[in-house]
Amino acid sequence: MNTRTPLIAGNWKMYKTNAEAVETAGRLVELVAGTSDVDIMITPVFTAIDPVCTVVKGSRVGLGAQNLYWEKEGAYTGEISADMLVSAGCQYVIIGHSERRQYFGETDETVNKKIGAAITANLIPVFCIGETEAERESGNTFSVLDKQVKDGLKEKVVEDIGSLVIAYEPVWAIGTGKTATSDQAQETHKYIRSLIDGVFGTALADSVRILYGGSVKPANVAELMAMPDIDGALVGGASLDAESFSRIVKF
Ligand code: 13P
């Protein structure tokens, strides 16, 4: 039995206007009011963070963003810093999501800088890794994860990365309805924990929360959460509806 508090996180991606985000967040706050022993987090689009913050303040629901830029401030048109996210009420930030790697040129190097900036600002980074279908089929899953973890976490800028959260999201399971089986996910999570053990030692390996992401639904969450190395879920589609997300929270 481990002492890690499960984290159920919703990645809202580029969905919901401010009015829609506020409505969903408000409904979620009501639905999860009685829960305990689980951390909950949602990530609206940047423009909805402030109004959603007003709704979730003082509730069971934590707030995060989907990206940041690593500089503190400056002439970087269109970017948002870690301190700005904190000032808007965020406690978490998703970093290195596969969609950002695929469509926006995110690399292990930029991910590394963003994780450093998040930790310096006391934001909890939700560091995303995962292999593509071709990488899994060619037997390279572990070597891909090895590189993503080691390069993403190299030169950590502060000693304490105890708050780190890793999200393992096999790219082939995102938005496809294909979920890794709980045994497949457990095997991979166990491998990721052993990587952390090798690089940072047993204390961090024991405390780091490793979430599973990729077509998590109310119907499959319990089986995944029963696995010893699965500490939560990063949920896309099923987090957009407060009712279905609350059922995942209550796995
Ligand atoms: P789905 O739950 O829609 O497959 O998305 C997963 C994801 O990308 C969460 O970050």
89-141 residue pLDDT tens: 999 999 999 999 999 999 999 999 999 999 999 999 999 999 999 999 999 99
pLDDT band at 158 (very low <50, low <70, confident <90, very high): very low
How far, in Å, CA of 90 to CA of 94, rounded?
Answer: 11
- Is a pLDDT exceeding 70 seen at residue 75? yes
- The ranges assigned to domains in the chain are 7-249
Ligand 1 atom nearest residue 167's Cα: 10
User: Between β-strands 209-213 and 61-65, what pairing exists: parallel, antiparallel or unpaired?
Assistant: unpaired
Nearest CA to 142 among 210, 200, 193? Answer: 193
Domain 7-249 = CATH 3.40.50.300: no
Q: Which of 7, 8, 12, 13 to mutate to test the pocket of ligand 1 (most atoms within 8 A of CB)?
A: 13
CB-defined site of ligand 1, < 6 Å: 11, 97, 169, 174-175, 213-216, 234-238
**121 contact partners, CB below 8 Å, separation of at least 6:** 81, 82, 83, 85, 86
Query: What local confidence, expressed as pLDDT, does residue 12 receive?
Result: 98
Query: What local confidence, expressed as pLDDT, does residue 179 receive?
Result: 83
